Structure 1
Amino acid sequence: MDQIKGVFNGNFDSIENIKISPFSRAYTFSDSIYEVVPFYKSNIIAFNLHIERLLYSAEALNINVNIENIEREIKKLISSCEKQSGYVYYQVTRGVDSVRSHMYSNSLEVETFGYVLPFSFKSKSLKVMICEDIRWGRCDIKSTSLLGNVMNMNSSKNEGCDEVIMHKDNVLTEAGASNVFFTKNDVICTPKLSKSILPGITRSLLIDELNKAKLPIIEGIFSLEDLSKANAVWLTSSTKGISLVDEIINLESTLQTNDPLFIKSKSLFDNKFFS
């Protein structure tokens, strides 16, 4: 396997040479935030939106960041990639404790870490499972604390699935690593943003394209019953792009693979960002 190129606290090196303290609060508390920044044919997709979301997460956790350094490091990682398409994972951590403690010192020095990987961005149809949303109450923060996602995603993997769609008391939230869209009665639907939903960048980009094309879309509160009556369901993320769901294993539904609104949505997005 080719060496993965990374950066830690401003120092660029191969991943195997990067050393991180076991007292890093990312390790002991998941006291850290992250972004996944995609690039296609050497063009960064929605870079400013990813940076804005990183700043939002940092401010929510009261972590001070040097945004100019972060932008420079992400761009340098991208330029170091041997392929023209891929993504950068970039993480910001509050710092390293002298000893593990819930209450952090305000004098901690922020840690930054990132790496770049090539990626083809070839979407595929997905098999998903419905799961209860067991995550914490601030899913709008892009934190590395993802144990609820991990538990649900691996439960679905054991059933031969690729992803999950989560709900709280039958109200749809999002997928394990994606946002959810579906069509019903010739309208595109997606759960509205809240503290239970990460404001996905691909979600935002797609909604912008749908509005420009004057396609009907509602951001609202939707139930599992609404989803069961959907003509088509798809998930969006920085690495999935727009990926059709062709089977929900534990929800009675009749999903179409040739739904006109899905076909139009995917065409609009792919022509804008992946052509």
Structure 2
Amino acid sequence: MTRIVYVNGEYLPETEAKVSIFDRGFLMADGVYEVTSVLDGKLVDFEGHAVRLERSLSELDMASPVTKDELLAIHRELVAKNGIEEGMVYLQITRGAPGDRDFVFPDPAVTPSTIVLFTQNKPGLADSPAAKTGMKVISVDDIRWGRRDIKTVQLLYPSMGKMMAKKAGCDDAWMVEDGFVTEGTSNNAYIVKGNTIITRQLSNDILHGITRAAVLRFAKEAQMQVEERLFTIDEAKEADEAFVTSATTFVMPVVEIDGAAIGTGKPGSVAARLREIYLEESRKAAI
């Protein structure tokens, strides 16, 4: 089946979808994005993703071409048209195509934003084998720009981090700045020591993860201790457990950092329980 995508108000076969070569997302990485997971044919945490999208657009003084209600309708239509039971919907909004290349922002009254959405079918997303075995990560220097809280399409360095991890025979990289872990290449990072879950506090230094917010809320409701503070790679190596969260991995255990086993070297009970709670509650609340 040919995938149906959404481009600037039209539902099209992916083979017919086009964006201008002058689009600022292509030329300047001048755009933002969101990824919403789909479980049982329904959208997970859509409200959180929509609110964060609005914030990202506002921080970049970029106009949204659709309302939140319209965005929800587009998501649902794409899920239905493509028969997605488990997978994701990718959304990207850029500052548009002014007709030529220029560092100066185009007038939004003259140049409309570009909006693109497409689905990715991922059967078995919730039952990923990696959740049973855990991930191995390496540490890399965090040399990204200073506004990581804005979910922009500037993903070259995170991609390089993924490739550095792959070259080292690992699954991902945790980025380190001034001696402290910021986040993973596409996820928020956590360690567990005793009964306490530790993760970096929110700031411009990390993405304000939608899954992060939900998982921390569920953890507190389950009477788990949560401490939002800086931690180092050395502290992570001495932790009892480690894990990451994101919209597409949910809660994923980390069992090795820079070649050192975390805890027993196997997924721990805290990460397993949080994953179970998150999937259960997300399925209930999905729309």
Shorter-chain TM-score tier: over 0.9
Deviation at 1:24, TM superposition (A): 0.3
C-alpha distance in 1, partners of 2:63/2:246?
27
Partner of 1:135: 144
Secondary structure of the 2:281 match is helix
Q: 2:179–2:232: 8 Å Cα contact kept in structure 1?
A: yes
Deviation at 1:224, TM superposition (A): 1.9
Partner of 1:102: 103
Structure 2: gaps spanning 5 or more residues? none
Partner of 2:82: 81
Match 2:252 to one of 221, 243, 246: 243
TM-score, length-normalised on structure 1?
A: 0.94
Deviation at 1:239, TM superposition (A): 0.8
Match 2:237 to one of 223, 228, 236: 228
Deviation at 1:255, TM superposition (A): 4.6
Partner of 2:72: 71
Secondary structure of the 2:203 match is coil
C-alpha distance in 2, partners of 1:259/1:253?
9
CA deviation string 1:146-170 (max 9, x = no partner): 1111111111111122111111021
41-50 or 253-262, which deviates more: 253-262
Partner of 1:35: 34
C-alpha distance in 2, partners of 1:255/1:37?
33
Paired residue type of 1:248 = I
CA deviation string 1:214-262 (max 9, x = no partner): 1111111212222121111111111111111122235575454253322
Q: CA RMSD in A?
A: 1.7
Residues 69 and 262 of structure 1, relative CA distance in 2, 3 Å threshold:
closer
Partner of 1:113: 116
C-alpha distance in 1, partners of 2:264/2:150?
32
CA deviation string 1:122-169 (max 9, x = no partner): 331212111111111100001001111111111111112211111102
CA deviation string 1:84-140 (max 9, x = no partner): 222100100111022111102213111100101212313312121111111111000
Match 2:206 to one of 192, 197, 203: 197
C-alpha distance in 2, partners of 1:12/1:98?
23
Partner of 1:173: 182
Secondary structure of the 2:175 match is strand
Residues 9 and 148 of structure 1, relative CA distance in 2, 3 Å threshold:
same
Deviation at 1:272, TM superposition (A): 1.8
Structure 1: gaps spanning 5 or more residues? none
Deviation at 1:268, TM superposition (A): 1.8
C-alpha distance in 1, partners of 2:83/2:187?
27
Residues 50 and 193 of structure 1, relative CA distance in 2, 3 Å threshold:
same
C-alpha distance in 2, partners of 1:35/1:242?
18
Deviation at 1:18, TM superposition (A): 0.5
